[in-house]
Amino acid sequence: MASFTSKPPKIEIKYTQIFINNDWHKATNGKTFPVINPSTGEEICQVEEGTKNDIDKAVEAARKAFHINSPWRTLEPSARGKIMRKFADLLRRDIEYLAQLETLNNGKPVTNSKMDIMGAAACIDYYAGWADKFTGETLPTTSDMFLYTRHEPIGICGQIIPWNYPILMLATKLGPALACGNVVILKPSEETPLTALYCAALIKEAGFPPGVVNIVPGDGPNCGNAIVLHEHINKISFTGSVEVGKKVQEGAAKSNLKRVTLELGGKSPLIICEDADVNFAVYVAHEAIFHNAAQNCIAASRTFVHSKIYDEFIAKSVALAKKRIVGDPFDPATQQGPQINKSQFKRILNYIESGKKAGAKLECGGEKANDKGYFIKPTVFSNVKDDMEIAREEIFGPVMSVFKFDSYDEVIERANATNFGLVAGVLTKDLTRALKFVQELQAGSVWVNTYAAMKAQAPFGGFKQSGQGREFGKYGLEPYYEVKTVAIKLLSKM
């Protein structure tokens, strides 16, 4: 097991203020809030606390930046893409510092932080390429009419991101919005604002005009709600829980019917068929649940295993879970860091107790991994039943729940018996069977013989209460532009 350091590396915290109009500001209410290191439970620093007045200031700056004659709106589209690529290059340039800052604030292993930063840069690069390529159409009509469509930016976009992938989520939201020519007010999670604020400095360095990107840290009830309810914000993109997502949609409707994209929770199934290679299946299932300490909306938190290979799968999964290295996220050997905060830590341990009381068999883990910080040992439950709390609710922690099945029709029905529908995975060598699963599983993404195959060009989003709308890919642009129809009557010659 990796070490549990009580002294994280000394990292200079460069930015803790609100970023509006390419400048740094203190909160109008004069308040700050603490940012905590989840590896130790200790305070890192204080950050300015944005509220409604700060959102109003950001909106004022964004409205000026979106004016039809502003430097941003008059910029040639390929030049807009060039600025975006510059931002991506700066993320790569500062990857060492950003990775350490992300790990300090979020707790994920520093190697994972580096992967996230590279993924964020790739996402920005991908959407930079779209800046001069999303176009309208010339439409067929009568010979005396010229009929066509224009794609135009929607306006001010409010973007609310979670704490589990701070930099990656920032890029996911900014990329399509900026490619389409919009302006943005982004609220990072109050748990993990530090890398977003550093990215604000890189945004200014990249050459974005003032007011195009504004970053306001703060909590949900005050800062986030002010974004949702603001009459001059035209679009909301939110990633988080179903409970808050419903409030976002309600607030958007009550204010100005702003457009809403929601990426919410999941209780995703991974179905392992009898013909799957067991060693491969164990590895895929292990990473599918335990990656990022299972603080992952796509985590395979329901692992369905065919009865013919169930016992072998359990034995090998338990052995692998016991070998997983939990500890200091700055140690290159570490595979799993802490949960994000004390509240989540306690919530996960309560779910584990619930599973034990309900009759699931605790095969390993199920307890804290260190006296300091919010570390939990990788946990494996066998003999999990569909009606148990750990089978129905999103735990968002390192808990593998393994279910047994005999019939493929049965497991499809059980996999779909949830209010969620974000992703699903299937491991099988039978192509016909795989395609049946692809057709019948109710999920926005279905991965066959792999898991977490996320690509910037591949649309991502959920069915049912896992959300609405899509991010990534060409589909990710659609929520960020309006379609205008233009009809021109061709006058006959005099």
Q: What share of the chain is helix, strand, coil (3-state, %, to 5)?
A: 40, 20, 40
Confidence (pLDDT) at 7 = 72
Amino acid identity of residue 471, one-letter, is E
Report the run of H or E that residue 25 belongs to, with start and end. strand 23-25
Active-site position among 48, 102, 263, 394: 263
102 is catalytic: no
C-beta of residue 5 within 8 angstroms of C-beta of residue 333: no
Confidence (pLDDT) at 492 = 80
Residue with tokens 């500062």: 94
CA dihedral (239, 244, 248, 249) in degrees, to 10, reads: 100
Question: What is the domain partition of the chain in residue ranges?
Answer: 18-264+467-483, 269-456
Task: Give the neighbor-by-neighbor strand order of the sheet with 138-139.
Answer: 138-139, 145-153, 481-489
Cα separation, 437 vs 445, in Å, equals: 12
Q: How far is CA 453 from CA 298, 302, 446, in A?
A: 10, 18, 9
The per-residue b/e assignment along 232-265, b for 16 or more CB within 10 angstroms, e otherwise, is ebbbbbbbbebebbebbbebbeeeeebbbbbbbb
β-pair partners for 47: 33
CATH class of 269-456: alpha beta
DSSP 3-state of 250: helix
Half-sphere exposure in the Cβ direction for 481 (13 Å, CA): 22
DSSP 3-state of 262: strand
Confidence (pLDDT) at 367 = 96
CATH number for domain 18-264+467-483, candidates 1.10.40.30, 3.40.50.1400, 3.40.605.10, 3.30.1600.10: 3.40.605.10
- Range list of H helices, 365-430: 389-392, 408-416
Confidence (pLDDT) at 2 = 64
Residues of the chain under the 50 pLDDT cut: none
Cα separation, 372 vs 5, in Å, equals: 9
Confidence (pLDDT) at 377 = 97
- DSSP per residue over 187-224, as a string? E--TTS-HHHHHHHHHHHHHTPPTTSEEE----IIIII
